Amino acid sequence: IWQVALSDLETRVSRANYETWLRNTELISFEDDCATIGAPNSFAVEQLRSKFAAPIQETLSLITGRPVAVQFAVLNSDRPALHPTPRRQARRTAVAELEAPPTPSSRQLELTVTPEHGLNPRYTFEKFVVGANNRLAHAAAMAVADRPADKFNPLFIYGGVGLGKTHLLHAIGHRALARRPQLKVRYVSSETFTNDLIHAIRQQRTDEFRNRYRTIDILMIDDIQFIAGKESTQEEFFHTFNALYQAGKQIVISSDRPPKAIHNLADRLRSRFEGGLLADIQAPDLETRQAILAEKGRELGVRVPDDVLEYVARKIESNIRELEGALNRIVALAQLYHRSITLDLAVEALTDSHAEARRQQLTPEAVIDAVSQQYRVTVPELVGPARRRDVVVPRQVAMYLMREELGLSLVEIGQRLGGRDHTTVLHGIEKIEQQLQNDGQLRGEVLAVRERLYGG
Ligand code: ADP
Ligand code: MG
């Protein structure tokens, strides 16, 4: 991933800057959407932190399709940057070597997540812009935060990618806690929920699992569509749902589509979901997009002229995450070159988004094809049952790349590869991640597949 990021960065910063500061960097770790970048000495670390944190963060977010936090550390010269195993330990070492906390300006673009509730401090109601597209979902979310389990239980929020579902879920948690700090609030992705469950089953601790979830006052489960097709998870979720519901606890669910459009969802769950309030979020209109951009500008602490707001809002119509990414790119460019934010600069910043354009054309099929060509394995073999090493490794590479490049869920990846189980996919991805740390040949192969995908 870092190779690809570097080649993107190379096109974004001046040649001199790239050669001096970026060429000799390495990726020390990348976990939980947090990248630790290593540089040879503390001076370089300082430069990276003050000048390049924003573009690096942005590039990585573009590549992974998720918000990514970035930190920097000094590389230890007698230790290879990508230390083999154990990964946890490598990370701890790296973090211990971190210098003083980043300056406010580079921090502003970072994402920090508080683990206990799983709430991201950036996602509050104060920072959520209300428009015709999300008015109902917003009002319902406020009501639920103020009076949990009163009227709308469950609250089911659905809408397309990047339209603010996750933001609203977190906002509910923040507001509820601000009013009643003793509440037990928990935000989980449906993948975390599933993983917790699988773990509990393996350790024969399902009772503990149930108790843990059932004592929560407000449970928010994000992207519930991912549990479709998983029978035991749905089964357990059904029981958890009923227990919470009967105990008068609030449940909030998000999905990319309404319950009736989620295939492979158990009927009884579907009817539970439909028994509460369904609130959709639509794509925002031009004025709302402009208002959102203005809000994001305030959060970044920059003044963005109206013509720039309008230009960006007109150019990017559907996805707020992309809208935000575009603004970040403009702000980063302005900071990088000490220029002020003007329409010219905005046009310049946004016409250079080849990486984004290429990303959007990337499909799971393209990844499978590229892997098949690179390893000279046929597609039927890749999605078939073969367990020979010369098929297994390419298959795992395909899993890894679908995750890294497309941000697909483990379930979706499994489906693309002939209906494999999500734990198999997780295992495959972890295997590749681990091996990439010390296997030069594999690294070369993965890079070659990426070159096929991105046209070199
Ligand atoms: P989803 O979960 O629907 O895919 P997110 O909640 O992750 O979308 O939103 C994507 C980005 O857009 C986030 O950074 C979020 O803060 C921002 N965003 C979405 N809707 C709004 C809004 N109405 N006001 C302000 N920011 C928003
Ligand atoms: Mg989301």
Annotated binding site for ATP: 162, 164-166
pLDDT of 88 > 50? The answer is: no
**Residue nearest atom 14 of ligand 1, based on CA coordinates:** 321
pLDDT score of 85:
33
Mean pLDDT of 307-336: 89
Report the Cα–Cα distance between both ends of the chain, in Å, rounded: 14
pLDDT of 385 > 50? The answer is: yes
pLDDT score of 100:
33
Lowest mean pLDDT: which of 8-17, 103-112, 185-194? 103-112
Lowest mean pLDDT: which of 34-38, 41-45, 114-118, 209-213? 114-118
Lowest mean pLDDT: which of 75-84, 125-134, 279-288, 302-311? 75-84
Q: If pLDDT is split at 50, 70 and 90, which confidence band does 116 have? A: low
pLDDT score of 249:
95
Highest mean pLDDT among 3-7, 25-29, 113-117, 158-162: 158-162
Residue 101 corresponds to which tokens in the numbers above? 């906390």
pLDDT in tens, 441-453: 898 898 889 888 8
Highest mean pLDDT among 77-91, 194-208, 299-313: 299-313
Residue 428 corresponds to which tokens in the numbers above? 């495959």
Q: Which helix (H) or strand (E) holds 74?
A: strand 69-74
pLDDT score of 62:
77
Q: Which residues surround ligand 2, an ion (CB under 5 A)?
A: 166
pLDDT of 350 > 50? The answer is: yes
Ligand 1 contact via 128 beta carbon (within 6 Å): yes
Residue 368 corresponds to which tokens in the numbers above? 């499978």
Mean pLDDT of 199-221: 88
pLDDT score of 313:
96
pLDDT score of 164:
96
Q: If pLDDT is split at 50, 70 and 90, which confidence band does 398 have? A: very high
Handedness of CA 43, 44, 46, 50 (dihedral sign): positive
- 46 CA distance to ligand 1 centroid (A)? 31
**Residue nearest atom 11 of ligand 1, based on CA coordinates:** 321
- 232 CA distance to ligand 1 centroid (A)? 31
CA distance 8 to 356: 10
Lowest mean pLDDT: which of 86-90, 143-147, 237-241? 86-90
**Residue nearest atom 1 of ligand 1, based on CA coordinates:** 162
Mean pLDDT of 129-133: 96
Mean pLDDT of 408-412: 89
pLDDT score of 115:
57
Lowest mean pLDDT: which of 72-86, 216-230, 254-268, 394-408? 72-86
pLDDT score of 86:
35
Mean pLDDT of 1-16: 78
Contact residues for 352 (Cβ-Cβ < 8 A; gap 6+) = 11, 12
Three-state secondary structure call for residue 438:
coil
Ligand 1 contact via 324 beta carbon (within 6 Å): yes
CA distance 153 to 156: 8
pLDDT score of 194:
87
Q: If pLDDT is split at 50, 70 and 90, which confidence band does 405 have? A: confident
pLDDT score of 80:
40
Helix-strand-coil percent breakdown of the chain, rounded to 5?
60, 10, 30
In single-letter form, the type of residue at position 154 comes to P
Task: Give the number of whichever ligand sits closest to the CA of residue 190.
Answer: 2
> Can you spell out the DSSP letters for 283-330?
PP-HHHHHHHHHHHHHHHT----HHHHHHHHHH--S-HHHHHHHHHHH
Lowest mean pLDDT: which of 9-18, 138-147, 165-174? 9-18
Q: Where are the beta strands (DSSP E) in 101-257?
A: 155-159, 185-189, 218-222, 250-255
Roughly what angle, to the nearest 10 degrees, separates helices 440-454 and 389-406?
A: 50
Q: If pLDDT is split at 50, 70 and 90, which confidence band does 96 have? A: very low
Ligand 1 contact via 34 beta carbon (within 6 Å): no
What is the model's pTM? 0.60
- According to DSSP, the residues that pair with 156 across neighbouring strands are 253, 278
